Chain A
Amino acid sequence: MPAAYEVIIGLEVHVELHTTSKMFCACPNRFGAEPNTNTCPVCLGLPGSLPVFNKNALELALRAALALNCRVNRYSRFARKNYFYPDLPKAYQISQYEFPLAAHGQLAVYKNRELLRNVKIERLHLEEDAGKLLHDEGQAYSYVDYNRCGVPLVEIVTGPDLRSPEEARIFLETLRRTLLYTRISDCKMEEGSLRCDANISLRPWGSETLGQKVEIKNMNSFKAVQRGLEYEVKRQAEILDRGGRINQETRRWHEDKGMTDEMRSKEGEQDYRYFPEPDLPPVIVEDSLLTRIGTELPELPLPRYRRLLAEYGLTPYQAEIITGDRDLADFYEETVRIYYEPQKAANWLLGDVLKLFKQFPGAIKQSPFTPLHLAQLLKLVDGEQISGRTAKEVLEESFNSGKMPELIVREKSLGQISESHELEKVVDTVLRENGAAVRDYREGHKKAVTFLMGSVMKATGGKANPQLVIALLEEKLAKIGE
């Protein structure tokens, strides 16, 4: 990174709210439907249609606002943002302008458990999404899909607080994790339910004034956000090094080419002619609603991380991974609630169980393998009813079928032979049949016991409790030597 300049980045993040119906009509809010099937006169902006605000969108937006430590405005207003584009059927977007729903929030961003920065959330407001244009290569026209019109969004605007492209990416990941905890959205960048534009400028170190900022769009993954901004830092630095000036413009990131290019310059910047939306009354947030949303808000990643460290004695690494996903953390704590072996539960969960979950992403909640299953498995291992190796087999089967581990062990007779009189018989037979090994042992070749042990395991189909076998072998061999 060119060290001659300080990098200043602010982000504008759009998050789709997962309501059942759209923001201003009763159409279903669903991703991936056939084009133009989830539409009605209201979201198509037909003449004479009027919006009616979906209170559920307000509740989800309030959750986000509280999770980001924002101050919620008891009075906010919708405003019209006017511009012409074929995916915007009313030619204005219902948004919020002078009176946003919430402001003055902050989100702490850590890298390797070290606080990078408290990033200011300048504002959080509600707005409706636009439709989508579908371009067919080689055709002189485009298709419009209005399904997404009227899908509720929150726009989250940060202060110019981020100081590097990497920091921007980490912030965005932290934001996503936090919002996923509140369950307002699935926050999928690839499906567009989380979208990020960035404003970036450079200035000489020590300078108090901000440099000319450039807006970057079309960064459609976390990686793209970092790469796009890194490219832009380089581009701007080169211009400044040459003594050139940065143009006020909007640029588009091209992931395939690894570069940005100009979308529109300052002259092309639009005047959106905002004014209060006359079709909708102001949004009044009552104390009772805010209190309820606050009470319902789940414990967020950072406090949960700290609590997991203190309460269960986890390592920072374990706690970080477990709290990285609310479903995983819920799974962990529920397991520990049923069978209190926090360290063992963490080891199993982050080892073999997580590997299985990763093969079926997003399925922790839907998985037939529940904390009850894991707790039972842990109990079987602890009680030495099955060996560690058997446990892995049982886990896999339980994970695939949803059968309780105890049932699997019983059905397949996988239980360890821990009854000594039963094992004694086997051990005696093995000793009788392997005179040579016994002799070797007695002559000081202590390794011969491993061979004998293997023979016992073979004879029991691997179900013998290994500790018990060793103890028995040693006891009997010692007797023979007497």
Chain B
Amino acid sequence: MHLFTLTAVEAAQALQRREISSVQLVRDIYDRIDNVEPQVRGFISLLSREEALAAAENVDRMLKQGVSLSPLAGIPMALKDNICTNGIPTTCASLILKGYRPPYDAHVTTALREAGAILIGKSNMDEFAMGSSTENSAYHLTCNPWDLQRVPGGSSGGSAALVAAGEVFFALGSDTGGSIRQPASFCGVVGLKPTYGLVSRYGLIAFASSLDQIGPLTRDVQDCAYVLEIIAGHDPRDSTSVSREKERYTAYLGKEIKGQRVALPVECFGEGLEKEIKELVMGALAKCTEVGVSVYEASAPSTAYALPAYYLVAPAEASSNLARYDGIQYGLSIRSGSNLLDLYYATRSKGFGAEVKRRIMLGTYALSSGYYDAYYLKALKMRTLIRQEFESIFKDHDFIVTPTSPTVAFKIGEQKDDPLTMYLNDIYTITANLCGFPAISIPCGFVEGMPVGLQVIGRPFDEGRMLQFCYVLESLLGLKGRLAEMKLKEE
């Protein structure tokens, strides 16, 4: 048996029982990477086998000495390339940060390191997390392991593809408008965007500060709960990190979900949604009713404005967050010109890709004097309105369920030159970011061999009960921990 087929928790349990070693896990993972990575290309940078083995040996030694380690000690994983790793290149898949090595670790990097998880590499993404297909990476494409002709989704496409292809046991992504959940849906894995403020953003290279959250991409719901337990919690270095007691998410798993109430917003099941996807989501919910869950129709009419509001707020914040890449202190610097403006123009023209430039321009425009009230301020008001509608649904429902994405993974290149169609990928996911609510995507079936995701949105900080719900649903659907069946060269 190949070890890479195990879930993170299965591998961890075998490790704790000393049936296998972390070194074996790492070796098996690197063999798998050698086999499939040339086709998937989910990594943007990969640590050397020796480095990872050294870390694994360390964990094995501690386990042998009887040191009590976290449940995920010794488990190989990947971090999205916008999460800072001390001394290891962190590029946001942008030329402007090519070769940039941060002098410090992100909060989540430290948390996972301290938990003993083994960093294997940094995963590919859309440049600065702007995109829904990972085609906006300045370095290379990543292919969907279920069909190499298709995109893995984005922007955390590398993370999702690596998990689905068995190249790591889990990965972290970031989600600003659906960037964890949509690729999770496209690649048939579990992806969670936590409540805004649950996971520290310290060391996450900002796209849109008021929307960004880090979250896990995993093989199943149980793995998701374990990873979340490690990365969640108050961090005084992030002023938007919420101070509350640490929760044991794993303790929710296995409890029954009888009596829970689910709302289906009609706005998310109408035009633009593929019929087969709708049927899969409804079918999944039908199974829930068999275990005592009630399903209700609901309405959140303002969600019609979610996409426009998002495409004002996110680019506005991005235009400011990305202004620091000016060629002065670090990163790409083109100094051929004769003055300061030349340096700015040359560096930023060469360093940023088309989509990033488009959003910087959108955001700069939206914040300009004379337009601020009409665009940015209005978008903030829409945000409040949408949040109020969701809060009112949550008054008498536990969860909101929608499809994660209106389509399955599309073909590489299919939407590349059509930004507006590309933006529609996020139609069901962005509301959770605008409201700051937690949302998770889990696999609910296949359409023409491609995975389909179902999204569960919860009340703020209700991740525990969401995971409880999804854990049951996952077992009802019988889709737990499936890896992509890849045609390999040598296997």
Contact = CB atoms under 8 A, between A and B. Distances in A.
Interface of A: 41, 44-53, 80, 82, 84, 86, 89-92, 144, 271, 273-275, 278-281
Interface string B299-330: 00000000000000000110110011010111
Contacts of A273: 319-320, 364, 367-369, 372
Contact of B326 (A80, A91, A274, A278): A91
B456 interface: no
B240 A279 contact: yes
B169 interface: no
Contacts of B84: 47-48
B106 A91 contact: no
B210 A278 contact: yes
B296 interface: no
28 contacts: A41-B102, A45-B324, A45-B329, A46-B330, A47-B84, A47-B92, A47-B100, A48-B84, A48-B90, A48-B102, A48-B203, A49-B202, A50-B237, A52-B236, A52-B237, A53-B239, A86-B326, A92-B320, A144-B328, A144-B329, A273-B319, A273-B364, A273-B372, A274-B367, A275-B376, A278-B210, A279-B209, A281-B239
B97 interface: yes
Contact of A91 (B90, B203, B324): B324
Contact of A82 (B100, B103, B320): B320
Q: Using C-beta atoms within 8 Å of the partner chain, give the interface range for chain B.
A: 35 or more
B369 A82 contact: no
Given A273-B367, A278-B210, A44 B320 contact: no
A274 B376 CA distance: 11
A193 B100 CA distance: 35
B210 A280 contact: no
A345 to B, nearest CB: 51
A49 to B, nearest CB: 7
A273 B239 CA distance: 23
Among B84, B205, B320, the most chain A Cβ lie within 10 Å of the Cβ of B320
Contacts of A80: 320
Contacts of A48: 82-84, 90, 102, 106, 202-206
B316 A275 contact: yes
B238 interface: yes
B344 interface: yes
Contacts of A82: 319-320, 323, 367
A280 B328 CA distance: 26
Nearest to B367: A273
Given A48-B203, A271-B369, A279 B323 contact: no
A282 to B, nearest CB: 11
B380 to A, nearest CB: 8
Contacts of B326: 84, 86, 91
Given A48-B204, A48-B205, A279-B240, A86 B330 contact: no
B319 to A, nearest CB: 8
A400 B97 CA distance: 60
B201 interface: yes
Contacts of B208: 278
A296 B99 CA distance: 52
A56 to B, nearest CB: 15
B267 to A, nearest CB: 27
Contacts of B286: none
B454 to A, nearest CB: 30
B239 A279 contact: yes
Contacts of B238: 50, 52
Contacts of B92: 47
A271 B371 CA distance: 11
A103 to B, nearest CB: 21
B42 to A, nearest CB: 22
